[in-house]
Amino acid sequence: MLRALFIAAFFFTITPLLVSLQWLLGKLKLPGWGFIASNYYRTLCRLLRIRVRVNGEPVRARPVLFVSNHVSWVDIVVIGSIAPVAFVAKREVASWPLVGFTAKMQRTVFVDRTRRLQTAEANDEIARRLTEGDPVVLFAEGTSSDGNHVLEFRSALIGAVTHLETNQQVMLQPVSIAYTRTQGIAMGRQHRPLVAWYGDIEFAPHFKRFLDRCAVDVVVTFGQPVPFDHSIDRKTVARTFENKVRKLMAAALRDRAVETVT
């Protein structure tokens, strides 16, 4: 109980301060946004007892769209602790108290996948983030899974790379997120809902259960990046990356080495 209160106090006191600082840096066009964001998420990982292991290397210093599977709200904290990134999130997140404002300051792109026109607008916004130098994370399943499987990748938002307002080559990089251990013990299929947040699971009870029972190990694997080729359609890209992420995730769940170049 005390630990939960401490985490809540940290979130509701430190978060507004850091967000305000990020806003000020943005207004003054000063560096430091990414440094603040990554260290904030690393601190949250320590508070939430999340141990992150990284396989492979994320693309840096070039426009990159990370194409990832999605398991839980925890994914945001985990990936954010590795590198400064902008996320693509569902529209409802923007209206959540404090979380929505924080997400906006982290340069999140909000999308309503039920509206075709809004998807086109989101593609333009993702392209703008990439042009400005922000790596963007796309959870290509469009929803979260139970952590045991990779769902079918949706192709619509991958098309954002065709909107890029720069001559620089944009990279696509597959990323898998796999939650492998809890309390140091290998996590079986039946235990992954301790972390996985999907379907109609309510957030508050899930978050409390996570705090009470979880010290979690997660493996994030960055696959081989590929330059986007305009001659290949986005549906083909989606299928190819879905297969790559599924392979990387399966290897991580089985605690087996995998060549990230595959």
Domains and CATH numbers, the chain: 2-253 (3.40.1130)
Phi, psi of 90 (to 5 degrees): -70, 155
Non-local (6+) Cβ contacts of 234 within 8 A are: 155, 156, 158, 159, 162
The counts of H helices and E strands in the chain are 7, 9
Phi, psi of 67 (to 5 degrees): -110, 110
The pLDDT value recorded for residue 96 is 67
Widest pairwise Cα distance in the chain: 56
Strand partners, 217: 51, 181
Q: Which H helix or E strand runs over 11?
A: helix 2-28
Angle (CA) 238-239-245 rounded to 5° is: 85
Q: What is the mean pLDDT of residues 142-161?
A: 89
Weakest mean pLDDT among 62-71, 133-142, 249-258: 249-258
- 214 alpha-carbon distance from chain centroid: 20
Q: How confident is the model over 153-186, as pLDDT tens digits? A: 998 888 888 777 666 788 999 999 999 998 888 8
